[in-house]
Copies of this chain bind each other. A is one copy, B any other.
Amino acid sequence: MRFKFPLMAIGLEVVMIVLFALFVQYETSVNTSRNPNETESAAMDVEKTMESYPFFQDVHIMVFAGFGFLMTFLWKYGFSGVGINLLIAALGLQWGTIIQGIFRSHGQKFLIEMKNMIHADFSTVTVLISFGAVLGKTSPVQMLIMTILEITVYAANEYLVFKILWASDTGESMTIHAFGAYFGLAVAGILYRSGLKEKHSNEESVYHSDLFAMIGSLFLWIFWPSFNSATADEAKKQYRAIVNTYFSLAASVVTAYACSSLLESRGKLNMVHIQNATLAGGVAVGTCADMEIPPYYAMIIGSIAGAVSVFGFKFLTPLFTTKLRIHDTCGVHNLHGLPGVIGGLAGIITVALEESDSTKTVSQAAALGSSIATALVGGLITGS
């Protein structure tokens, strides 16, 4: 048993190296040297792909520092939060590169661009969200397995949503946030039955663990405009996604603080709400961030998401634990699940109002349904 984790980790790394040797090649290596006429156009691609590098770095900070420190709020799990976060993300980005690349190239060799690296980082986010639901209930070995399985299901659903349904989801509210949350809840539901109740006593935050969690929370908040705009395919959409996310986030901070003070005894602010619900505006505006919506519309989405998220923490999470026997350690349902669904619904409404073609609206609805359904099924299978 002692050697299970190291052997599995090394085995997975060897598999990754073999898969990279088989499937991955450079933008500008054999292919360009074979045909000198293509050199010019290949060089152009490098310049263009490098334009996405600052967006990649912003997303990279969110994945490794943002999610990592957000999970340090429980004192007993502080180090395992940030440590296992790094392991999941480092393994996940390799597997995400491979599985997404194979889906898109239909099993051929493929080139690595900055966009592949952004998508690889994105794929790990689903696992990091689910990890928030099961923190303290799983071993490192289980997390290695969950990383491989969840990213595979994610890549399949993402291919369905973007390449078959042709739905819009630039900030991936549905395909990452709702997906990751419901996947994690399904796994947490299975693990609950295994009788892990006694661990709950470890769930205490202390003063400085809350400050460490604020590091994660703030870096997520700061870079969310980059997250929602990183994969937008033209400058105009990227610009709109940035502006809308900026104002949606600001609005969700104000309503989250207001609702937190409203619901807590003697009007005090609850730190868990501040760390999490302030981000709900970024999640919820994700699907329609790059659409032609006026900025005040983004602020309304953010305001609603901030409020709903606080109500979720206060009323839904305790209900989930007692009634549904699902214990959601970090409350990912309130930060990613509910706001992800709000994002999906806002996307459906926006498309229905903007586009005369109703098949577009149906695609959006199908994308939301598919994301939740594959997440629940995938999570239940993974948990078993």
Q: Give chain B nearest CB distance to A370 CB in angstroms.
A: 29
Complex-state Cα separation, A46 to B239, whole angstroms: 7
Residues of B within 8 A of A360 (CB): none
Copies in the complex: 3
Question: Do the beta carbons of B235 and A24 come within 8 Å of each other?
Answer: no
A27 to B82, CA, bound (A): 40
Which residues from 291 to 307 on chain A have a C-beta closer than 8 Å to any C-beta of chain B? 292, 294-296, 299-300, 303
By the criterion CB–CB under 8 Å, are A266 and B90 in contact? no
A6 — which chain B residues lie within 8 A by C-beta?
258-259, 261-262, 267
Q: Which of B54, B83, B303 contacts A269 (CB 8 A)?
A: B83
B13 adjacent to A222 (CB under 8 Å): no
- Picked from B17, B18, B21, B54, the residue with its CB within 8 Å of the CB of A303 is B17
B57 touches A24 (CB 8 A): no
Which one, A128-136, A207-215, A317-325, is touching chain B?
A: A207-215
Stretch at the interface among A243-251, A326-334, A361-369: A243-251
Residues 1-35 of chain A, each 1 if its beta carbon lies under 8 Å from chain B, else 0: 01101110110110011101100111111000000
Residues B251 and A13 in contact, CB atoms below 8 Å apart: yes
Assign chain A's interface to a size class.
35 or more
Q: At the interface, yes or no: A91 with Cβ under 8 Å from chain B?
A: yes
> Which residues of A in the span 256-298 have a Cβ within 8 Å of any Cβ on B?
257-259, 261-262, 266-267, 269, 271, 274, 278, 292, 294-296
Chain B proximity mask over A165-204: 1 for CB below 8 Å, otherwise 0: 0000000000000000000000000000000000000000
- B295 touching A112 by the CB < 8 A rule? yes
- Contact in complex: A65, B12 (CB < 8 Å): no
A364 to B222, CA, bound (A): 34
Does the CB pair B9–A50 fall under 8 Å? no
Which residues of chain B have C-beta atoms less than 8 A from A253's C-beta? 86-87, 90-91
Q: Report Cα–Cα, A83/B269, bound state, in Å.
A: 9
Main secondary structure of the interface of A (DSSP, over half): helix
**What is the bound-complex CA distance between A83 and B249, given in angstroms?**
15
- For A254, what are the chain B residues with a Cβ–Cβ distance below 8 Å? 9-10, 12-13, 16, 87, 90-91, 94
Q: Please, which residues of chain B bring their CB within 8 A of the CB of A64?
A: 218, 221-222
A313 at the interface (CB under 8 A from B): no
A47 at the interface (CB under 8 A from B): yes
Are A299 and B5 interface neighbours, CB within 8 A? no
Q: How far is the CA of A2 from the CA of B69 in the complex (A)?
A: 32
Contacts of A208 in B (CB 8 A): 208, 212
Interface residues of A, Cβ cutoff 8 Å to B = 2-3, 5-7, 9-10, 12-13, 16-18, 20-21, 24-29, 43, 46-47, 49-50, 53-54, 57-58, 60-61, 64-65, 68-69, 72, 78-79, 82-83, 86-87, 90-91, 93-94, 97, 112, 114, 117, 140, 207-208, 210-212, 214-215, 218-219, 221-223, 225-226, 235-236, 238-240, 242-243, 246-247, 249-251, 253-255, 257-259, 261-262, 266-267, 269, 271, 274, 278, 292, 294-296, 299-300, 303
Which 7 A-B pairs give the minimum distances between C-beta atoms?
A: A90-B253, A9-B258, A20-B296, A6-B258, A6-B262, A21-B296, A90-B250
